[in-house]
Amino acid sequence: MPFLTHSPSSQTLWRSSGVRVLRTTSGGPGVTRWFGEHQSPPTSQHARPCAFLSEVFQDVTIVAALGFGFLNLSLRRYGWSSVAFNLFLLALGVQWAVLMDGFLDQHFQNKVVIKLSRIKLATMSAMSVLISVGAVLGKTNLLQLTLMALVEVTVFVTMMMIDRHYLNVDAHVSMMHIHVFATYFGLMVAWFLSRSLNETVVQEKTQTEKRSSLFTMLERKNAVFSTYYALAASTVTAISVSVLAHSQRKINMTHIHNAVLAGGVAVGTSCHLITSPWLAMVLGFMAGLISIGGALCLPGYFNQVLGTHDTCGVHYTFGLPGLLGGITYILLIIYEVNWTTKSISRIDIQLFFGAGTLSLAMASGLITGVLTGLILSLKIFKAPPAAKHFDDQAFWEFPHLATGF
**Gap between the Cα atoms of 363 and 203, Å rounded:** 31
- 229 with 300, same domain: the answer is yes
- 113 with 141, same domain: the answer is yes
CA angle (174, 58, 101) in 5-degree steps: 40
In a domain, 208, yes or no: yes
- 62 with 32, same domain: the answer is no
What pLDDT is stored for residue 15 in this prediction?
37
- 147 with 217, same domain: the answer is yes
Query: Taking Cα atoms as reference points, which of 306, 333, 390 lies closest to residue 72?
Result: 390
- 119 with 24, same domain: the answer is no
- 16 with 71, same domain: the answer is no
Alpha helices in 116-217 (DSSP H): 116-136, 142-165, 171-176, 178-193, 199-205, 210-215
pLDDT digits (tens, 9 = 90+) for 75-125: 666 777 788 888 899 999 999 999 998 888 767 777 888 888 888 889 999
- 215 with 296, same domain: the answer is yes
Q: How many CB atoms lie within 10 A of CB 210?
A: 10
What pLDDT is stored for residue 220 in this prediction?
37
- 24 with 69, same domain: the answer is no
In a domain, 12, yes or no: yes
Q: How many independent structural domains does the chain possess?
A: 2
In a domain, 397, yes or no: no
Strands 32-38 and 20-26: antiparallel
In a domain, 401, yes or no: no
Which residues constitute the domain of residue 60? 55-392
pLDDT in tens, the chain (405 residues): 444 444 444 433 333 333 333 333 333 333 333 333 333 444 455 556 666 677 777 878 887 777 776 666 666 667 777 888 888 999 999 999 999 988 887 677 778 888 888 888 899 999 999 999 888 888 888 899 999 999 999 999 999 999 888 888 888 788 889 999 999 999 999 888 876 555 555 555 555 554 444 444 444 333 344 456 787 788 788 788 888 877 788 877 777 767 777 888 888 888 777 777 788 888 988 988 888 888 888 777 777 777 777 877 888 889 999 999 999 988 888 777 655 445 556 666 777 888 889 999 999 999 999 999 999 988 888 877 666 776 777 677 765 554 443
In a domain, 346, yes or no: yes
**Gap between the Cα atoms of 38 and 41, Å rounded:** 10
The Cα-based distances of 11 to 40, 41, 49, 117, 151 in angstroms read 14, 13, 10, 12, 33
Query: Taking Cα atoms as reference points, which of 194, 208, 234 lies closest to residue 389?
Result: 194
- 70 with 23, same domain: the answer is no
H-helix or E-strand containing 37? strand 32-38
What pLDDT is stored for residue 230 in this prediction?
80
Give the CATH number, domain containing residue 140.
Answer: 1.10.3430.10
What pLDDT is stored for residue 37 in this prediction?
37
In a domain, 45, yes or no: no
Backbone dihedral angles phi then psi of residue 174, each to the nearest 5 degrees: -60, -40
- 25 with 60, same domain: the answer is no
**Gap between the Cα atoms of 350 and 346, Å rounded:** 6
What pLDDT is stored for residue 405 in this prediction?
38
In sequence order, the β-bridge partners of residue 404 are none
In a domain, 262, yes or no: yes
In a domain, 319, yes or no: yes
Query: Any residues with CB less than 8 A from the CB of 111 and at least 6 apart, and which?
Result: 2, 3, 4, 5, 30, 102
What pLDDT is stored for residue 74 in this prediction?
60
How long is the chain?
A: 405
**Gap between the Cα atoms of 248 and 233, Å rounded:** 24
- 163 with 211, same domain: the answer is yes
- 241 with 147, same domain: the answer is yes
Sign of the torsion formed by the C-alpha atoms of 266, 102, 86 and 364: positive
What pLDDT is stored for residue 8 in this prediction?
44
**Gap between the Cα atoms of 261 and 322, Å rounded:** 11
